[in-house]
């Protein structure tokens, strides 16, 4: 008899520590590779000043590609501006995931410019299902004012894919687009598609269950809203435990149409657990702030964003004259405000008021000889999430000279 055998040898991983050098934007960067499985792209990062950047190299059966397989970056410090970049991230380490299995996302920001940011910087992780559509925020981080070329603490968050499909992940710095930077090319990193598979069910006796929580909107001035939590369990070995955070509030196996629970933006996660096995599943209720308001951690509630209105009066002046600026500020919180008219900065304060306040006496521009956009920016010195801005245009006509 003739026996045929087939033996498949697993593809080899590519080693860590292989030096790589790449050029981008007229600059040269270098770094070393991470340990990476065959068929997966490894991210090589140069995080040492002055030039910093990233490049992606493909691992094929133990051999790294000679050149980057995607657009590489290499940036020199930007003089006179902050320049926020994604220094490192681990999004590329995930290629195949299982539904309802948590992963940990990590990323680090760097200011590659030569000056500090004027206000607090925000970063975030986000995701979407499929190649089309907007990203949904997983978590946002307030990094405060960021100095040049400093070491910024790493951002990290746990994320649980709640369905099967093609997942895209994103990590962004200056996620609110508030900072006037020297460049914006490296503000975000996206990875995908990542295949998320449905969990394998081994048989009818396997514990399984689901839990969901409805969206509820938090009103301005409030810190909480009411959501409806529904769940079901089957084949549990032990007792079902349903908890909000660390507080167990039910042991019922099924709850439909559901149970009303009070949630906030910091206490909105619900978990269904089998006390007799390792089965657990969690969900989080969406709790956005209503209207033009935003969650302010320092206040522990949703606060109305400042509203600024500035009108030049008159908005057409003769060369060499100044224009009055009629400014109305609507904010219940104290603000520090700056007017920029192209040649100077004028700083003043707004005392919080429950009604709109007209700045009195009116501010004026410097004497103008050409058309000018006048900007006003106000921010709370205590709560960096509260800021607003406005602008107006002043046109200038030449003065008729007597001959």
pLDDT the model gives residue 82: 86
* Contact of 327 with 376, CB cutoff 8 Å: yes
Q: How many CB atoms lie within 10 A of CB 345?
A: 10
Q: What is the DSSP letter of 237?
A: S
3-state secondary structure of 141: strand
Q: What's the pTM?
A: 0.47
pLDDT in tens, 123-140: 999 999 887 788 999 999
pLDDT the model gives residue 202: 52
Token pair recorded at residue 95: 């290629």
Query: Quick one: CA torsion of 75, 81, 82, 88, rounded to 10 degrees?
Result: 0
pLDDT the model gives residue 401: 64
pLDDT the model gives residue 204: 56
Q: What is the DSSP letter of 91?
A: G
Q: How far apart are CA 200 and CA 384, in angstroms?
A: 46
Identify the sign of the CA torsion 90, 93, 98, 101: negative
Nearest partner of 42 among 57, 32, 52, judged by Cα: 57
Q: How far apart are CA 373 and CA 331, in angstroms?
A: 24
Q: What is the DSSP letter of 205?
A: T
Q: How far apart are CA 80 and CA 181, in angstroms?
A: 9
Nearest partner of 130 among 196, 182, 66, 185, judged by Cα: 196
Q: Which residue has the tokens 């000018």?
A: 372
pLDDT the model gives residue 5: 52
Token pair recorded at residue 122: 């925000």
pLDDT the model gives residue 219: 94
Q: Which residue has the tokens 């909107």?
A: 217
Strands 136-142 and 122-129: antiparallel
Edge-first strand listing for the sheet containing 280-284: 247-250, 240-244, 269-274, 280-284
pLDDT the model gives residue 362: 83
pLDDT in tens, 331-388: 999 999 999 988 788 999 999 998 999 998 888 999 999 999 999 999 999 999 999 9
pLDDT the model gives residue 251: 94
* Contact of 125 with 107, CB cutoff 8 Å: yes
Q: How far apart are CA 394 and CA 342, in angstroms?
A: 11
Token pair recorded at residue 96: 């195949």
What average pLDDT values come out for the chain (403 residues) when binned by 10 residues? Answer: 55 86 87 81 74 84 88 77 84 82 90 86 92 88 85 87 88 88 77 80 74 92 94 92 94 90 93 92 91 91 93 92 93 94 88 90 89 93 92 88 58
pLDDT the model gives residue 361: 82
Q: How many CB atoms lie within 10 A of CB 320?
A: 11
Q: How far apart are CA 101 and CA 160, in angstroms?
A: 6
pLDDT the model gives residue 81: 83
């Amino acid at each position: 008899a003739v026996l045929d055998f087939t033996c498949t040898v697993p593809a080899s991983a590519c080693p860590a520590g292989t030096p790589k050098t790449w050029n981008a934007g007229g600059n040269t960067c270098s770094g070393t590779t991470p340990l990476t499985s065959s068929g997966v792209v490894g991210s090589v990062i140069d995080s040492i000043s002055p030039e910093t950047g990233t490049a992606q190299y493909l691992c094929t059966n133990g051999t790294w590609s000679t050149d980057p397989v995607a657009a590489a970056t290499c940036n020199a410090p930007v003089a006179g501006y902050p320049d926020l970049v994604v220094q490192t991230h681990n999004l590329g380490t995930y290629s195949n995931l299982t539904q309802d299995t948590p992963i940990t996302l990590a990323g680090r920001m760097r200011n590659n410019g030569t000056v500090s940011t004027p206000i607090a910087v925000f970063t975030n992780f986000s995701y979407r299902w499929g190649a089309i559509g907007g990203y949904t925020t997983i978590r946002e981080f307030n990094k405060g004012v960021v100095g040049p070329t400093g070491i910024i603490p790493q951002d990290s968050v746990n994320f649980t894919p709640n369905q099967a499909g093609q997942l895209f992940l994103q990590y962004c710095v200056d996620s609110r687009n508030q900072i006037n930077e020297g460049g914006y090319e490296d503000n975000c990193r996206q990875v995908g598609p990542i295949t998320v598979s449905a969990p394998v069910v081994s048989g009818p006796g396997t514990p399984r269950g689901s839990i969901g929580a409805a969206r509820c909107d938090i009103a301005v001035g409030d810190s909480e809203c009411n959501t409806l939590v529904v769940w079901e369990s089957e084949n549990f070995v032990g007792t079902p435990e349903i908890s909000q955070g660390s507080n167990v509030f039910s042991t019922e196996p099924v709850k439909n149409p559901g149970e009303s629970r009070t949630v906030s933006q910091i206490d909105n996660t619900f978990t269904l657990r089998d006390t007799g096995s390792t089965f657990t599943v969690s969900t989080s209720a969406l709790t956005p702030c209503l209207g033009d308001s935003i969650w302010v951690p320092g206040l522990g509630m949703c606060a109305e964003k400042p509203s600024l209105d500035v009108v030049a009066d008159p908005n057409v002046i003769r060369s060499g004259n100044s224009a009055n600026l009629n400014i109305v500020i609507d904010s219940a919180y104290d603000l520090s405000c700056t007017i920029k008219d192209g040649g100077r900065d004028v700083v003043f304060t707004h005392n919080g008021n429950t009604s709109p306040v007209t700045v009195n006496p009116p501010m004026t521009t410097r004497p103008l000889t050409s058309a000018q956009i006048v900007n006003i920016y106000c921010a709370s010195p205590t709560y960096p999430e509260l800021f607003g801005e406005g602008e107006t245009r002043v046109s200038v006509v030449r003065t008729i000279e007597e001959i």
